[in-house]
């Protein structure tokens, strides 16, 4: 790598810090002294990738190994890409600035479907053949993990390996295996065969997919004895015994979440029917409070951060949350360290608790009722009521808050105009709660932000068989809400239905979509989740060229018997349970929280005694 050239180029692009590394707590090693080099690749810009907890964990975990050096690489922003191509600078890592093509592994984390073209672009910038079948012994193994891998079929042609589920134990087993293979020698396929035997590892090229005349998948079957019929995701049983970093890289620039992240637990016991995370990350496993306090002490010391985020899918469900918050506040009060909690559930929000957090610094308050009426909240199994909302926001206003964010989804199965009107009515109710208080009891300047996202049916949810609303229908619903929410103190945000449409295509897509991805990327698609970069024309042209109708993936109601492209992946939650949940949704019947009673989702069958 020509360092002088790179330095000159960095002087010509926006936010050069994105590509410079050398941050506090960055790991430094001599590449000559390790036998495995792993480029951890995040297919979005630095400030998004650096906020990702999985990357923080796996980066430090791999670097604990003496034989491995894990480095980071992010998608170069469009100005940097242009300069790199112009000056023939290959994709490089932040730690050593060495070309990614020289590494043993390039490991992508796939957090959302609209980053897929960035993955292709990064491989291309690295000079690594895009198709797995074209790679030779000189090329790295391209591996992927993260939530999108639960249906990774649209990327199957581009990936050598996929790790299903939680990576802490699995990645170590894979690196051990690789170390042995590298010492002994052998061709790529030999390593892949051995890797396919590691529980939770999926090697897409070892599976053949056949299709019916009507375009549906007929079967997905292994084409070698080395590959199992079904790949079961990995989980760690005991979070206290599982690696968690006691330091985190502190960036020089603002990133999306610039603070310490304490992961309280994994999984979610609620069972919302639209939520993929709630199903694929089952079961709930908590970190003990002692462990969390110990980690917090270490992380505050090692990073100097003044904010700790208490993270998990449903933070207010942590069994000792109030205790934990009290203890953290006591320990760090002198240091003026604040706590932030992501989206709170309406039913577990108490005035004492919020007063405790407020003692240090006020953080934003977000509530996610998800649907405007009780009927629809029952359909989606979101167990919160209007009374919960009234109680919570009133408590918040009394405790000094004047800004509230409300999140909803539109386009949910069975939704009617009544449900949309309910969204506006809830916003009005929040306003009434505020004005219902004596003037001296509330802060001035009420602000309510209502945000809606469009429902995207996701694999491994009870709604995986459901169609998505047509784009025009979603636009009409947004227009309706724009009018209905025209009220004082209320701001309304909505998302682009075109993006939700593509997300729905790729979330439930099959292998044939690989060709579409490739065409869209060649047409110039990059950073599709960024509104200023997204170009629908690149995508529609790609579908046309490859004779695939995107509506086939989005607007079709699937029958129970249909083979789904992800049926060979086992997340522990059974298909029978998901179907039962779908039927209960149709009847508006609720399913209890796992903490109240077990509904037999299948997890206990796979991991005995875990919940
Ligand atoms: S097996 Fe029962 S308790 Fe465990 S995650 Fe499934 S429904 Fe919940």
Cα distance between residue 448 and residue 261, in whole Å: 27
**Are residues 224 and 206 in contact, defined by beta-carbon separation less than 8 angstroms?**
yes
Residue 295 Cβ contacting ligand 1 at under 6 Å: no
Cα distance between residue 257 and residue 313, in whole Å: 16
∠ CA 380-382-385 to the nearest 5 degrees? 125
The rounded Å distance from CA 593 to ligand 1 centre is: 9
The rounded Å distance from CA 95 to ligand 1 centre is: 42
Residue 372 pLDDT exceeds 70: yes
Cα distance between residue 477 and residue 486, in whole Å: 14
**Segment 26-83, tens digit of pLDDT:** 999 999 999 999 999 999 999 999 999 999 999 999 999 999 999 999 999 999 999 9
Cα distance between residue 161 and residue 155, in whole Å: 11
Q: Strand 285-286 relative to strand 265-266: parallel, antiparallel, unpaired?
A: antiparallel
Predicted pLDDT of residue 257: 79
The rounded Å distance from CA 412 to ligand 1 centre is: 24
Residue 611 Cβ contacting ligand 1 at under 6 Å: yes
- Of the candidates 308, 306, 401, the one whose C-alpha atom is nearest the C-alpha of residue 362 is 401
Residues 6+ apart with CB under 8 A from 249: 23, 24, 25, 26, 50, 56, 59
> Which atom of ligand 1 lies nearest, measured to the CA of 605?
1
Q: 16-25, 356-365, 377-386, 399-408: which range is least confident on average?
A: 356-365
Predicted pLDDT of residue 360: 52
Residue 70 Cβ contacting ligand 1 at under 6 Å: no
Cα distance between residue 588 and residue 183, in whole Å: 59
The rounded Å distance from CA 604 to ligand 1 centre is: 7
Question: CA torsion 585→590→592→594, rounded to 10°?
Answer: 20
**Segment 231-281, tens digit of pLDDT:** 999 999 999 999 999 999 999 888 777 889 999 999 999 999 999 999 999
**Are residues 179 and 67 in contact, defined by beta-carbon separation less than 8 angstroms?**
yes
234's tokens: 């990995």
pLDDT class of 314 with cuts at 50, 70, 90? confident
Residue 361 pLDDT exceeds 60: no
Residue 422 pLDDT exceeds 60: yes
Alpha carbon nearest to ligand 1 atom 8, residue: 594
For 161, the enclosing helix (H) or strand (E) is: strand 161-163
Residue 610 Cβ contacting ligand 1 at under 6 Å: no
pTM value?
Answer: 0.95
The rounded Å distance from CA 245 to ligand 1 centre is: 29
Residue 285 Cβ contacting ligand 1 at under 6 Å: no
Residue 599 Cβ contacting ligand 1 at under 6 Å: yes
Cα distance between residue 181 and residue 190, in whole Å: 9
Q: What is the 3-state secondary structure of 341-379?
A: CCCECHHHCCHHHHHHHHCCCCCCCEEEEECCCHHHHHH
**Segment 566-577, tens digit of pLDDT:** 999 999 999 999
Query: Mean of the pLDDT values across residues 447-472?
Result: 97
């Amino acid at each position: 790598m020509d360092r002088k050239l790179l330095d000159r180029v960095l002087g010509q692009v926006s936010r050069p810090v994105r590509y410079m590394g050398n941050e506090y707590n960055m790991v430094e090693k001599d590449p000559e002294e390790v036998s495995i080099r792993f480029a951890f690749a995040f297919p979005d810009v630095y400030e998004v990738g650096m906020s990702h907890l999985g990357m923080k964990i796996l980066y430090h975990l791999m670097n604990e190994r003496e034989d491995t050096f894990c480095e980071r690489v992010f998608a170069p922003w469009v100005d940097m890409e242009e300069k790199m191509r112009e000056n023939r600078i290959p994709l490089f890592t932040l730690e050593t600035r060495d070309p990614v093509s020289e590494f043993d592994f390039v490991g992508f984390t796939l957090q959302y479907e609209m980053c897929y073209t960035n993955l292709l672009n990064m491989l291309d910038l690295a000079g690594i053949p895009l198709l797995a079948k074209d790679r030779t012994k000189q090329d790295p193994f391209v591996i992927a993990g993260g939530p999108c891998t639960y249906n990774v079929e649209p990327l199957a042609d581009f990936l050598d390996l996929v790790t299903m589920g939680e990576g802490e134990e699995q990645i170590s087993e894979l690196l051990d295996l690789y170390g042995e293979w590298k010492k002994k020698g052998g061709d790529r396929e030999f390593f892949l065969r051995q890797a396919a035997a590691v529980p939770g590892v999926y090697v897409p090229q070892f599976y053949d997919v056949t299709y019916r005349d009507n375009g549906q998948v007929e079967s997905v079957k292994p084409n070698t004895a080395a590959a199992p019929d079904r790949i079961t995701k990995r989980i760690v049983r005991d979070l206290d015994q599982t690696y968690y970093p006691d330091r985190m890289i502190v960036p020089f620039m603002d990133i999306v979440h610039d603070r310490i992240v304490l992961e309280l637990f994994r999984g979610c016991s609620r069972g919302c029917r639209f939520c993929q995370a709630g199903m694929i990350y089952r079961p709930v496993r908590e970190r003990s409070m002692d462990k969390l306090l110990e980690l917090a002490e270490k992380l505050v010391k090692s990073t100097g951060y003044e904010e700790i985020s208490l993270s998990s899918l449903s933070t207010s469900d942590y069994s000792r949350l109030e205790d934990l918050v009290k203890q953290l506040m006591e320990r760090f009060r002198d240091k003026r360290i604040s706590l932030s909690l992501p989206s709170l559930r309406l039913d577990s929000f108490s005035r004492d608790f919020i007063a405790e957090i407020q003692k240090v610094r006020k953080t934003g308050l977000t509530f996610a009722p998800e649907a405007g009426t009780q009927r629809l909240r029952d359909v989606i199994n979101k167990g919160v009521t209007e009374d919960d909302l009234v109680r919570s926001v009133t408590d918040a206003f009394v405790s000094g808050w004047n800004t509230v964010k409300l999140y909803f989804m539109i386009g949910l199965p069975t939704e009617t105009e009544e449900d949309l009107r309910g969204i506006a009515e809830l916003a009005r109710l929040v306003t009434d709660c505020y004005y219902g208080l004596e003037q001296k009891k509330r802060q001035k300047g009420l602000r309510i932000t209502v945000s809606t996202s469009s429902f995207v049916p996701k694999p491994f949810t009870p709604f995986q068989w459901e169609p998505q609303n047509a784009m025009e229908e979603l636009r009409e619903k947004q227009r309706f809400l724009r009018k209905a929410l025209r009220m004082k103190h209320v701001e309304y945000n909505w998302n682009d239905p075109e993006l939700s449409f593509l997300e729905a295509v790729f979330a439930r897509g099959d292998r044939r979509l690989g060709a579409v991805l490739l065409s869209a990327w060649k047409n110039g698609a990059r950073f599709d989740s960024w509104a200023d970069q997204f170009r629908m024309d690149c995508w529609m042209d790609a579908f046309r060229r490859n004779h695939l109708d995107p509506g086939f993936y989005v607007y079709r109601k699937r029958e129970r018997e249909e083979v789904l492209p992800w049926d060979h992946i086992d997340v522990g939650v059974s298909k029978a349970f998901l179907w039962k949940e779908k039927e209960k949704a149709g009847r508006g019947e609720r399913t209890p929280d796992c903490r109240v009673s077990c509904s037999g989702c299948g997890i206990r069958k796979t991991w005995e005694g875990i919940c």
